[in-house]
Chains A and B, each alone.
Chain A
Amino acid sequence: MNYCSQCGSQLQPEDTACRGCGRAVSATPAASSAGDFGTPSSPPPFGSPAPPASYQPPGAISPGAISPGAMSMESGYPPPPPGGYPPPPPGGYPPPPPGGYPPPGGNFPPPGGYPPPGGYPPPGGYPPPPPGGYPPPGAYPPGGGYVPPEGAYSPQGVLADWGPRALGLLIDWAVTIVVIIPFAIIGAVIGSGAIYLADLAGIAVAIFLAVQVGQNGQSPGMRTIGLKCIGQTTGQPIGAGLGIVRAIAHLVDSIICYVGWLFPLWDKNRQTLSDKIMSTVVIRVPPQKFTLMPPGA
Chain B
Amino acid sequence: MIAHTTYEVDVGRLRKPAAIFLAGGLLLAHLPAGVGLPCPMRSVTGVPCPFCGVTTSVRDTFGGHLRAGLAAAPLGLLLIAAAIVVALRLGPPRMKLLRLILIAAVVAEWSFELLRFHVI
CB within 8 Å of B: which residues of A?
A: 152, 161-162, 251, 254-259, 262, 265-268
Given A265-B14, A265-B17, A266-B14, A258-B9 contact (CB < 8 Å): no
Which listed residue (B9, B13, B49) contacts A257, Cβ 8 A? Answer: B49
A256 touches B51 (CB 8 A): yes
A294 CA to B66 CA, complexed, in Å: 52
B11 CB-CB contact with A under 8 Å = yes
* Chain B residues near A262 (CB-CB < 8 A): 17
A267 CA to B41 CA, complexed, in Å: 23
CB within 8 Å of A: which residues of B?
A: 8-11, 13-14, 17, 37, 39-41, 49-52, 54-55
B49 touches A256 (CB 8 A): yes
15 contacts between A and B (CB under 8 A): A162-B17, A255-B41, A255-B49, A256-B51, A257-B39, A257-B52, A257-B55, A265-B13, A265-B17, A266-B10, A266-B11, A266-B14, A267-B9, A268-B9, A268-B10
* Chain A residues near B39 (CB-CB < 8 A): 255-257
* Chain A residues near B41 (CB-CB < 8 A): 255-257
A268 touches B8 (CB 8 A): yes
* Chain B residues near A265 (CB-CB < 8 A): 13-14, 17
B10 touches A257 (CB 8 A): no
Nearest-neighbor residue (CB-CB) of A255 within chain B: B41
Query: A152, A265, A267: which has the most chain B beta carbons within 10 Å?
Result: A265
CB A270 to nearest CB in B, in angstroms, measures 9
A152 CA to B94 CA, complexed, in Å: 13
A255 touches B40 (CB 8 A): yes
- Additional 12 contacts, C-beta under 8 A, given A161-B13, A266-B13: A162-B17, A256-B49, A256-B50, A257-B51, A257-B54, A257-B55, A258-B37, A259-B51, A265-B14, A265-B17, A266-B14, A268-B8
* Chain A residues near B8 (CB-CB < 8 A): 268
* Chain B residues near A259 (CB-CB < 8 A): 51
